[in-house]
Structure 1
Amino acid sequence: MPQPNLNQLAKMAQKMQADMAAAQEALASEEVEASAGGGMVTVKITGDLQIKAITIDPDAVDPEDVEMLQDMILAAVNQAVNQAQELAATRMGAVTGGLGGPGGAGGLGGLLGM
């Protein structure tokens, strides 16, 4: 059985780690937007899960039904987080070539130090 070239493997791991860091940095500048209540509440979030804006249509503010507004905000935030996580998984999967685990590093048994 041939021995793996450890130098080559280490170089590949270093390149993948650098590519992953670049992808994570890029995610910080990418934004997704989600809304609830027919657009009454809109949330913008970055690919690294930083909420950038929450917009609430004044017509959504009903002092008699604050719970509905809370539900719309919660729904919009959850939808935005899900979209941002899907974006991150897509970007990181492209870097890692589909290796298992969050960000693709899990299938390497900690080889990348992630």
Structure 2
Amino acid sequence: MRGNMKNMMKQMQKMQKDMTQAQEKLEQTTFTGVANDDLVKITMNGKREVQEVQIKEDIAEMGDNEFLEDLVLLALNDVLQQVEDETEKVMGKYTNNLNIPGF
């Protein structure tokens, strides 16, 4: 019984270490969301920190702020969805069987 408990603790420690490494790798991953054929690009890391916003010059010069705002929203939603999907894919390996609320 004691050996079984010790083995289980080792497995939990390994899983925790693997989760931490996966989270760190995910945080360093770069994602890019785009809108309308790359008219607007937003780059973000896995911590959901925006790294860069690119707006094609001809769109910025049009002077149509509402259209530009819509493009920014589309690109932002695109990149956020990518981060969410990848986070779920990577971290889901560890959290799916734990039955912890919120994961």
Match of 1:21? Answer: 20
Q: Which amino acid aligns with 1:26?
A: K
TM-score (ref. length: structure 1): 0.75
**Structure 2: runs of 5+ lacking an equivalent:** none
Provide the rounded CA distance (Å) in 1 between the counterparts of 2:73 and 2:81: 12
SS in structure 1 opposite 2:92?
helix
The Cα offsets for residues 29-73 of structure 1, whole Å up to 9 and x where unpaired, read as 21111210221100111122221111001111232x201100100
Of Structure 1 and Structure 2, the greater helix share is in 2
Deviation (angstroms), 1:109: 4.8
1:35–1:109 distance in 2 versus 1, CA, 3 Å: closer
SS in structure 1 opposite 2:33?
strand
Match of 2:38? Answer: 39
Provide the rounded CA distance (Å) in 2 between the counterparts of 1:50 and 1:29: 10
Provide the rounded CA distance (Å) in 2 between the counterparts of 1:9 and 1:78: 41
